[in-house]
Amino acid sequence: MTQPRIIEPTFNQLIDVPLKVGESPVWDDRTGTLWFVDILAPAVFRLDQSGHLDRFDMPAPVGCLGLCENGLVVVGLKTGVHLLDPATGKLDLLCDPDGGRPDSRLNDGKIGPDGHFWVGTRDEAVPQTGNARLYRVGPNGDFTCVIDGDMLTSNGLAWSPDGRRMYHSDSSGLLLQAFDFDPQTGQLGPAQRLHDFAPGEGRPDGAATDSEGFYWSAGVQAGRLNRFSPKGHIVEIYTFPFKGPTMPCFGGPDLKTLYLTSLTTENDGTSVAGTVISFKAPVAGALVSRFAL
């Protein structure tokens, strides 16, 4: 198998505010703004093209967000799935799929081609017990549990450009899997195990897909972004001078700007704060769907 290309991209740091755990960047193609969260702040942020940063403080740890058709933002908090009105800052509970389970919180989430909010949980027990789940949440607040147990940290949700394949990782379990996906019903096929992560490849964190069907996975603690072929082979490695990249997303008017969040890490005894960076991607991204609300 051909060795992956190693690339050191020239990037821009986009914010001065230090992030504890930057996550879930989402590009809004209607407004030209970038949304993201800081899980532990906890807060939701909106960055416009002039560099202005809006902050929406949250009442509980916030794992992820997605955009709604009606202009609201769906947000996954430890206390449930909420709807945020950016115009007023008002936050309303939609549902609580995880039901306040102990040692659990909503983690990575994304809107699927079916117009539903797919959101997984992280097992926060020490040591972890395998209690993580993946939920599918509808715009009316109805939800189903799609994966239950034998998982440590649900992460890395992304879909192929045609919407017929769903990618998903277990960050703590160090594996990447894929499922056949019905974009009309959200029905999943059997899990296909694509990749087991070796030391040095990083823990598979948040992810995105590009227009060629390749899967980009943040290798947290390894300072890299891994680009996978649809068959699960790493074909390119983008390296960074910080260890904690957490999630990529494609944006810009041509979807060829790659945005990347990161978390605070220790590097040789020095604390490196989480942030948001951008660089030019070699290919356009696959546009992410909106919550059918």
Q: What is the pLDDT of residues 140-185, one digit of tens each?
A: 999 999 999 889 999 999 999 999 999 999 999 999 999 999 999 9
| Residue 269 pLDDT | 78
47-67: per-residue pLDDT in tens? 999 999 999 999 999 999 999
Arithmetic mean of pLDDT, 126-140: 95
Query: Which residue has tokens 């206390």?
Result: 79
Arithmetic mean of pLDDT, 86-96: 97
H helices, E strands: number in the chain? 0, 27
Flag whether 30 is marked binding: no
Looking at the DSSP assignment, which residues form a beta bridge with residue 42?
none
DSSP annotation string for 222-254:
TTEEEEEPTTS-EEEEEE-SSS-EEEEEEESTT
173-220: per-residue pLDDT in tens? 999 999 999 999 999 999 999 999 998 999 999 999 999 999 999 999
pLDDT band at 249; cut points 50, 70, 90: very high
How far apart (Å, rounded) are the C-alpha atoms in residues 81 and 147?
18
Q: Are residues 216 and 207 in contact, defined by beta-carbon separation less than 8 angstroms?
A: yes
Flag whether 107 is marked binding: yes
pTM over 0.85: yes
| Residue 228 pLDDT | 98
Q: Assess whether pLDDT exceeds 80 at residue 1.
A: no
Mean pLDDT of the chain: 96
- Fold classification of 5-280 (topology level): Neuraminidase (2.120.10)
Flag whether 69 is marked binding: no
Mark whether 205 is an active-site residue. Answer: yes
Q: Assess whether pLDDT exceeds 70 at residue 72.
A: yes
Region of 87 on the Ramachandran plot (φ > 0 left; ψ -120 to 50 alpha; else beta): alpha
Kindly state the DSSP code that residue 68 receives in the 8-state scheme. B
Flag whether 105 is marked binding: yes
Instruction: Catalytic residue, from 196, 205, 210, 254: name it.
Output: 205
Q: If DSSP codes are grouped into helix, strand and coil, which group holds residue 99? A: coil
Flag whether 205 is marked binding: yes
Arithmetic mean of pLDDT, 78-102: 97
Q: Assess whether pLDDT exceeds 90 at residue 35.
A: yes
| Residue 268 pLDDT | 75
Pairing of strands 133-137, 143-148: antiparallel
Pairing of strands 143-148, 154-159: unpaired
Q: Assess whether pLDDT exceeds 80 at residue 40.
A: yes
Arithmetic mean of pLDDT, 19-46: 98
Arithmetic mean of pLDDT, 245-256: 97
| Residue 289 pLDDT | 97
Exposure letters 168-185 (e unless 16+ CB within 10 A, then b): bbbbbbbbbbbbebebee
Pull the structure tokens for residue 38: 């800081």
CA trace torsion 126, 222, 33, 66 (10° rounding): -40
Q: Assess whether pLDDT exceeds 70 at residue 118.
A: yes
- For residue 269, the tally of other CB atoms under 10 A from its CB is 5
